[in-house]
Structure 1
């Protein structure tokens, strides 16, 4: 068990209880945010220079899973907000100083979807736009947003040029009533609005440079962690959260079934059909976990040895990651259907794991279509183009 897992484990009962509170608040409770902050969970991929731990990404994934098994929203925040320091590590040194110079526990929200336009001006850009799904934003002091580079009139360039841009809290508005959903309610993934905010050039980075490894190579970073492919690292925290939620659902289900008696009078422990379903679901969730971790271990070893992780390997890695999430959620469906009517009660956590798992699988990083297409076509000797190369 990693050091952050050991720290957070002592608060497991508290985090589970606070999950219900976060569900009502529609944001992470202050207590759960405090526990993440105190444990160092958000600093796991952060440079040591700024108080980070620079852990192996496997340890990061395992920690996200363990926290998500306590409460899905808390694990989700760990997985998403916790991956941003990884990108910041190979962004400009001035940006790192701007954000962490005074407080290395400063959190950065997102999203990366290029839903705004950055118009070039002297010394930087002026940004306008509205973004959805800024997970954990209430507890963050900065945000990194995707934006299309514009021309002098503020119209997006063609062909499109996507950027990641960083803004302090005073430069954007959080839309308070924009997150009222069925699952992952505690993530507080609200909309943010930016109006005519100036962004100096050093707080920007080309999205293509991040995704194809150019930014990592040109940063001068020598650590293996910061040479890992974006298409492995960015999805890692999100899928780990979904698998952790599935593990939490399984644990919750097993505990409830130990003493449950069906309406027929049969003890669940004596029902071979339910036992088979539990065993199958447990095996599927374990397989999801193993597949995700095997990929990150293999990519780490290749990166450490200086070997190229080519498009085919990355595409297969994304296929494995996406399939792992879907497999885990299908397993949750199987056990929820056999949990009995009490599983639907808000007073029990099973329903929250069920809701969180299904909203988690809806994240864009888990859409299988183009990923499965690209991995198969590449293996058949084809050359995927356009959208079929996106996020790989």
Structure 2
């Protein structure tokens, strides 16, 4: 049987070491043994986040973390600006509206990155925050967080980023780039199963937490911070997912963050070069902003066919999301993906009649 090559956008392939790390007896989340693991994970994640601030652990998906940011840092009618350039930036806007925030969307074409100058035209002294999706996995485009941080540095506006499909595959320097909140989850470049989300807040963001008027309990950051001081969580966490993230972070540190980022860039460039040679096109309009963690491939009216044909050859990739589900497919290079995996994908794509 041909070995399955998993190049998914998430949940991603899980290394054998990470699977093995979950094969242990259950422990109490109030035990010393558990606290040691949580401390090790959050200290490792600080390096990946690029921060000295606490990294809070939430048992939820990335979407839960997005909602928790709004619950904890805002109040009804707060004005926020959100550049929308795909499904997940639009999702952030929808969640904010559900909570009664005054959302100013700045829309960009699918396949475009958010232009900082265009977004900043909508920011005024009353703007509470700008929400920027670091890596828009629906279109395969990333945003320049460092540039947004520079633009907002001397304002009172928070910079909030969803880096669910970015962090661990794209560099993040939260403190250096003046990012106020970074959130991510376990099942993408962190090479673990779904179940945990992680959030870090700047001192300015913690000030907003103090002033928030929304009710919250399960996602209460003030409670989470107190429990974090003893390396525990308010309620029962996804313990086995934590075991997995613990081992995955060890693997990332063994490889070295710079090497991890270089591997992601190299693999994505190899994918882009190969799909062009196969007669397909990159969906990202500017290759400089093509995501290193996934490539959205433009194949009008053929995307689903190609995904199915690849599956027959044991190559697992993802289809596109509406409204581009008929026209793009997405090839993950995030997390546990090697150059050999990319070569196998390219070999298979060249055998398909397109």
Provide TM-score, normalisation by structure 1: 0.24
Query: In proportion to residue count, which structure has more helix?
Result: 1
Larger radius of gyration: 1
TM-score by length of 2: 0.26
Q: Which has the higher contact order (CA 8 A, sep 6+)?
A: 2
